[in-house]
Structure 1
Amino acid sequence: MEREGFRTREANLLIALIKNPNVDNILCVNRPKIPGYVRYVLNVKNKKMLFKKPYNNNQYREISITSNEIKKTGLFSKLKKVNGKLNVLDIIYYLPNPKGNKLERLNIFKRILLQEVKKSINILEFDNYLTWCFDLTRIDVANTLKKDLLIFDAIDNLLEHDQNKKDCFFLEKCYKSARANAELIFTVSRDLKNTLFFDHKNVFYLPNAINQQMYKRRNITLPNDLPKDKKTVGYVGLLQERIDLEVLETSITYNKNVNFIFIGPVLAKGYFDKLKKYKNVYFLGPKHHTEVPSYISFFDVCIIPHKLNKFTKSMNPLKLYEYLAAGKEVITTPVPPSEEFKSVIHICENKDVFARKIKEVLNNPFCKFSKQDVIDSVKGESWEHRLEQMLKLIDNEIENRRRRLV
């Protein structure tokens, strides 16, 4: 979060938890930190930071995640008190942690994690608490730490991710553990609920939401690296195999007098190389979350050119809510949750329709609905509201358990 801001589901729910008056204390267990010597090597190699500092770092700052109050410092962890409610535990392993949290699959590191979390719980004097797990790879650790209730938040079907093919056995084991041990499961999509958790008695579809305040800003300045010599089609998000290159290339060649802007880290090496030959294509790299609204505000059209497959069916792209909150016309392939917003977006069944729709919308914007209709479509989709829905379900489950014990 220090690096990327709050452009994830779990980070936005954490902010909502901090704001909620019914929540007393929070212990946030971070993913393991990259060791200092590895960060040094990466910085020397790259000659620059992966995420640049925002050009106006004070805008939208909701909480500070650096603190002078250190509650505990040990060999393998550091516990910090961030504010009146939030305590953050940083885990330190001194070794690079390969993608997929592979270190914590080894018993020695799993024991270290359990040991450090238990110490922190004792220091903070947590007697009764809920365990809320957002990291599938840590579900067994979360179950071991469970006191009153284990809640699992399922974000995408990781079994279907192109980069997880060699990890399916381990991930399936983790999903099995979540089904067996979590009293409550929230899913980001209906597909996840109906495929991975169809036999769980307490599973609820609760989609993503949006930080409304970030998109009510006025007097926005054009980002320095955003070309504005032509009309602009924009995409924000992780650049990986879920993006349909045929759809993109057809759209780029059909709309030669339009700039196509991509914001986000490229996570699929070589996958986008064929697009770099086009002079109207710009990869601007990852941006801090506080900068994203500025870029979106200068897009003329926003796109979601995702493939339609088992993985994308399990998703609920945050970018869709961001685009809509900014009042932008959205052109998308028929991936969830597009059907739920079909009255204010353009859903295209194939690459040719997608390419033509871009041109049509640029030439004749908001001909089927108004900009206000677009903004209004996500007015009730705040993270505070989403958290209230979750807390109500949690309260109901606690009450039901009490009744069963009587």
Structure 2
Amino acid sequence: MDIMVIPFHDWRKSEKEGFRTRDVHFIRALANHKFSNRLLVINRPITKLELVYKGFKKQLRGNIVLKAGKCTLTQVDTNIFVADYYSQDVIGQAAHRFKWFINAYNEDGYKDFIYNACSYLQFDNAKLLTQNIFAYKLALSLSATNKVFDAWDNFLKFPGYSHLKKDLQLGYAEMSREIASWTTNSNENINFYKQNFKVKNIDLLKNGVKTDFAEGQFILPQDLLSIKKPWIGFGGKISYLMDSELINYISADNPDSSFIFVGQILDKRVYQKIIKRKNVFFLGDKKYDMYANYVKSFDICIVPYNVKNKQHGGDSMKAYEYLLAKKKVVGTNGNGLEDLKDYIYVEDTPENFSAQLKTLDNQKIELPIEQHSWLSKAQTLLCILDK
């Protein structure tokens, strides 16, 4: 089948940092599935402001096959085409930030180009997968033989979007009325969407893992050499999800272990709350292909996330990557980790969490990788799209 996809992240982000997010993992898995034909990825509108701020290149990697005004269609892989819109509305994006995307996606010029791209690609019976609540107006206006909304993380629980609560609530409500098939990555989200937006048909589609994540030649990262072992590592964004009090407890309770954090610092307030003891190291963000070497180097991997009302009902991709690298994994009870309790240590107190870090002994069974591969998740998604 031919599939239109509206991901959350800009394709440029993946080109720069590596293809590591749920949306692009699905795109690449769908592109490699035998039941898929071609994918038209509808990229986030962008202005010069964002290009400069994030250090992105204007031109996507690949060959431009169609162009009209400020819109281009680029073939980035054998069967993946990316529609891109370079907007001149720098002032609008600067003033409204994320709210700007809601209308920018839906601008007539971009919609017309998307239809022209579908005509060029001969997408006569295309399906639509949207993974972006900010593009709800566009998703509802596009014609498709079936539409699926992958409502992965619940954006109404993200503090950074609290000022857009009414806009997001309207988007979820509109999507609930107009798109019958939903997917999400946690049972908590399923309950939330059913209770708050009367969603009737929603499937649990948890995150997967890139099966070759831990393959390839191992290269010991140079910035680990000066750090004392054992290495207790976290690979991911420093965001509001992180339990700074738990991190401070375990770093104090395990003074002979080194706590290593690899990833972007998104929430400076959380970062500032983490005590920078001599055994706590922040190594910054790493390209996705290099990040695997850090995971393979760690002695124990952790997911020290908030629980109860402070969690967001997500499903940690890093946990699957840790398990693929055959690491002992210790996490908190929430954010979907409880579903992995056969494979990881899920602890509900700082004391129990810390106790698991004092030994490398791992009595948990191995994760059946093929059942959790992105390709297997894509198979499930294709069945939903084909209903």
If the TM-score is normalised by the length of the shorter chain, which range does it land in?
Answer: 0.7 to 0.9
Structure 1 residue 346, shift from structure 2 partner: 1.2
Corresponding position of 1:264:
263
CA contact (8 A) 2:148 2:384 kept: no
User: Which one of the candidate residues 122, 142, 152 is aligned to 1:145?
Assistant: 142
Secondary structure of the corresponding residue to residue 252 of structure 1: helix
For residues 233 and 88 of structure 1, the distance between their equivalents in structure 2, rounded to whole angstroms, comes to: 39
Relative to 1, partners in 2 of residues 1:12 and 1:339: Cα closer, same or farther, differing over 3 Å?
same
CA contact (8 A) 1:275 1:281 kept: no
CA contact (8 A) 1:233 1:301 kept: yes
Secondary structure of the corresponding residue to residue 355 of structure 2: helix
CA contact (8 A) 1:12 1:383 kept: yes
User: Which one of the candidate residues 53, 62, 66 is aligned to 1:72?
Assistant: 66
Aligned pair count?
366
Structure 1 residue 283, shift from structure 2 partner: 1.1
Over residues 223-257 of structure 1, what are the superposed CA-to-partner deviations in whole Å (9 max), with x where a residue is unaligned?
12224422111111111111011100001111112
Q: Superposed, which structure 2 residues align to 1:293-312 within 5 Å?
A: 293-310=292-309, 312=311
Secondary structure of the corresponding residue to residue 269 of structure 2: coil
Structure 1 residue 339, shift from structure 2 partner: 2.3
CA contact (8 A) 2:44 2:105 kept: no
CA contact (8 A) 1:77 1:89 kept: yes
Relative to 1, partners in 2 of residues 1:209 and 1:40: Cα closer, same or farther, differing over 3 Å?
closer
Corresponding position of 1:381:
372
Over residues 313-356 of structure 1, what are the superposed CA-to-partner deviations in whole Å (9 max), with x where a residue is unaligned?
51001011111111111111101422222122111112222222
In structure 1, what residue type is equivalent to 2:26? L
Corresponding position of 1:54:
none
In structure 2, what residue type is equivalent to 1:195? F
Corresponding position of 1:286:
285
For residues 304 and 194 of structure 2, the distance between their equivalents in structure 1, rounded to whole angstroms, comes to: 28
Structure 1 residue 301, shift from structure 2 partner: 0.7
CA contact (8 A) 2:102 2:136 kept: no
Corresponding position of 2:76:
82
Secondary structure of the corresponding residue to residue 271 of structure 1: helix
Secondary structure of the corresponding residue to residue 13 of structure 1: helix
Corresponding position of 1:29:
42
For residues 310 and 222 of structure 2, the distance between their equivalents in structure 1, rounded to whole angstroms, comes to: 35
CA contact (8 A) 1:100 1:137 kept: no
Relative to 1, partners in 2 of residues 1:17 and 1:224: Cα closer, same or farther, differing over 3 Å?
same
For residues 201 and 349 of structure 2, the distance between their equivalents in structure 1, rounded to whole angstroms, comes to: 37
For residues 379 and 104 of structure 2, the distance between their equivalents in structure 1, rounded to whole angstroms, comes to: 37
Corresponding position of 1:248:
247
CA contact (8 A) 1:104 1:110 kept: no
Question: What TM-score do you get using the length of structure 2 for normalisation?
Answer: 0.88
Secondary structure of the corresponding residue to residue 256 of structure 1: coil
In structure 2, what residue type is equivalent to 1:84? T
For residues 206 and 241 of structure 2, the distance between their equivalents in structure 1, rounded to whole angstroms, comes to: 19
Over residues 356-390 of structure 1, what are the superposed CA-to-partner deviations in whole Å (9 max), with x where a residue is unaligned?
2212x24xx22x23xxx33x343421111111112
Q: Superposed, which structure 2 residues align to 1:188-267 within 5 Å?
A: 188-197=185-194, 199-217=198-216, 219-227=217-225, 228-267=227-266
Q: Is the deviation greater in 245-254 or in 72-81?
A: 72-81
For residues 270 and 170 of structure 2, the distance between their equivalents in structure 1, rounded to whole angstroms, comes to: 30
Q: Superposed, which structure 2 residues align to 1:1-400 within 5 Å?
A: 1-35=14-48, 39-40=51-52, 66-67=61-62, 69-96=63-90, 97=93, 101-106=98-103, 110-197=107-194, 199-217=198-216, 219-227=217-225, 228-275=227-274, 277-310=276-309, 312-359=311-358, 361-362=359-360, 365-366=361-362, 368-369=363-364, 373-374=365-366, 376-395=367-386, 397=387
Relative to 1, partners in 2 of residues 1:126 and 1:212: Cα closer, same or farther, differing over 3 Å?
same
Q: Is the deviation greater in 109-118 or in 235-244?
A: 109-118
Identity in percent: 25
Structure 1 residue 107, shift from structure 2 partner: 6.8
Structure 1 residue 18, shift from structure 2 partner: 1.1
Structure 1, unmatched stretches of 5+, are: 44-48, 50-64, 398-406
Structure 2, unmatched stretches of 5+, are: 1-13
Over residues 143-163 of structure 1, what are the superposed CA-to-partner deviations in whole Å (9 max), with x where a residue is unaligned?
100321111001111111121
Relative to 1, partners in 2 of residues 1:112 and 1:351: Cα closer, same or farther, differing over 3 Å?
farther
Secondary structure of the corresponding residue to residue 163 of structure 1: helix
For residues 108 and 355 of structure 2, the distance between their equivalents in structure 1, rounded to whole angstroms, comes to: 56
For residues 237 and 88 of structure 2, the distance between their equivalents in structure 1, rounded to whole angstroms, comes to: 27
Over residues 1-27 of structure 1, what are the superposed CA-to-partner deviations in whole Å (9 max), with x where a residue is unaligned?
211221111111111111112222211
For residues 138 and 40 of structure 1, the distance between their equivalents in structure 2, rounded to whole angstroms, comes to: 23
Structure 1 residue 100, shift from structure 2 partner: 6.1
Relative to 1, partners in 2 of residues 1:234 and 1:81: Cα closer, same or farther, differing over 3 Å?
same
For residues 387 and 109 of structure 1, the distance between their equivalents in structure 2, rounded to whole angstroms, comes to: 27
For residues 134 and 41 of structure 1, the distance between their equivalents in structure 2, rounded to whole angstroms, comes to: 24
For residues 289 and 19 of structure 2, the distance between their equivalents in structure 1, rounded to whole angstroms, comes to: 8
